[in-house]
Structure 1
Amino acid sequence: MEIKFDRHRRLRQNLGIRNLVREHRLHIHDMIYPLFVTEGTGIKREVSSMPNVFQLSLDQLSKEIEEIVHLGIQAVILFGIPNTKDPMGTEAYHDHGIVQKAIRQIKQQVPELLVIADTCLCEFTDHGHCGVVHEGKILNDPSLDLLAKTAISQAKAGADIIAPSNMMDGFVTAIRHGLDEAGYTDIPIMSYAVKYSSAFYGPFREAAESAPQFGDRKTYQMDPANSREALREAYSDIKEGADILMVKPALAYLDIIQQVKTNFNLPVAAYNVSGEYSMIKAAAKNGWIDEKAVVLEMLTGMKRAGADIILTYFAKDVAKWLQEGN
């Protein structure tokens, strides 16, 4: 008796065939590498919870940029650690703030490198929240003016893309209006449109020294249980002028990446966040996993879900692995 069945293995017989029919590929141009810049000199301070990730003073930044460019990475996103913090996050929008100085330095060193500025207040406020605080409450509308000032200052310094991460209602329209009024109509906004109140951010808060000093961020970042809300958030940002939509975190939110990709036709970015990075690094250090194989599989999964762009602390490693060949 003849048994009939499908022979799917025909297209898996050898590397050449597998390469020919592969549906999704990682490319280094898909990657954005995060950088933490700090005031001071001679500082290259490793983040204890993020191996091979450093806080860098500007005199150490040039060498890092040389390596990034050599590896073929074409975009970085900057997070700043100021000397002084205050309730209004003044250093975030000061023309000589740490991020603004880093932007100018990078653009002078390598003009073609895309410099993305994270636009938020949490690294610069003494309370660690992403907006103005009054009597223990994070105020939405007064925060918008400061966020717009920050974006304008970053654009003035030479940022190629503004990436607001604060999750205040109306932040995209406030920033778009501010940029346009200041003459920066050509600067795109990569909105942290769908940003969850996630337990995966812990190592980042060490790196950026941005942990909230009271309470949490659940009144402005999203509940991890919600998916329909993600589409409402993304739709609002599109109406307000966003050019790229980001989902953050990525690994536990692949379904959200897919929904945003399916429902909207803007480019979609996924942030492979610090906790995801640190878990893999720790497991690899203990010999429990093959780091390269796991990272490439994870990032390919993000691409498969619909991410056009991936922000990842693994970008330099991925660049080396792709040059070697998988």
Structure 2
Amino acid sequence: MKKKAAAEGAAEGDKPVLAVTCGDPCGVGPEIVLRAAAEEQATKAARLVVLGSEKHLRQTARELKIRWPFANVVGDVPCSRRWERPVLLDLGGCCEQWLPGKISASAGKAAVDAIERAVALALDERVAGIVTAPIHKEALSLAGCSDPGHTEMLERLSGARKVGMLFWTPEMAVGLLTTHMSLRDAMKKIRCSRIAEMLGLFHDQWQRFFATVPHIAVAALNPHAGEGGRFGHEEIQEILPAIEKVREHGLRVDGPIPADSVFAMAREGRFDLVLALYHDQATIPVKLVSRQKSVNVTVGLPFVRTSVDHGTAMDIAGKGVASADSLVAAIRLAARLCLGPHPA
């Protein structure tokens, strides 16, 4: 495919080309990628180039009795945009060492290699976006990768100035102030300057993807939003000043709103987006309401990137029971975002 062909195809209303990585080969990633690649909802939305090991994926398909979904095994992204069925870009790898549910440096390296290849394709505009299956943070570390997760790795590889993590569901959207760090470290990041910066990022990226000005709510940290300082001072000292600061620049932001109320309010349609202050404050409500159809979106990158809302699920890897619903949703949302701004 010539450079910019993926982007040009999307601009013409054609199905965008998406790179799909298989995640950690010892988790459920290979299984859900095989299942998603056979789903009509996914293949109708985009042309899929799956990045992974042919040998390992064939073994997974055979053992789990999943139909082989690929039209061809290729060494590069196809030049023609006339292909419909997914293709597999074989990355090889030491698949003899990849056992279901087993954490290993070899598996971590395979996951990193696929991400690096996908980012290179996206930056070269050979693909319009990236969709990723889950990676295992410990395996990444064993492989010598210092990034704690996809979000941070993609920021580094792409050279983006600032990125953010956003969870999208059919019912609500939640952005994160902090991502992969301990709760103790996350508390240290709740500062006026950081909150204002992330509110600006999510505001701008929402307009990039959906062409509307978002109404954003900021979740409180403490019970009852601190009750005027009785249960904590973060709301008074850090969160409210940040909200007031961005309002001066025309952003439509409310809060801080108690976390036990704000997500229900968003689900009712009162807000377009909630800014959560730490990882699990965001993911618990998202997963409760999403029914395995929420999508992780990295905003701020020079290309579209979506992912599943779950981890590697090592406990069920290789058992043939993993659902591909979140991956299919991620593919469909990535395709939609690649085609340009649409109302949320």
Report the TM-score when normalising by structure 1: 0.29
Q: Which has the higher contact order (CA 8 A, sep 6+)?
A: 2
Report the TM-score when normalising by structure 2: 0.28
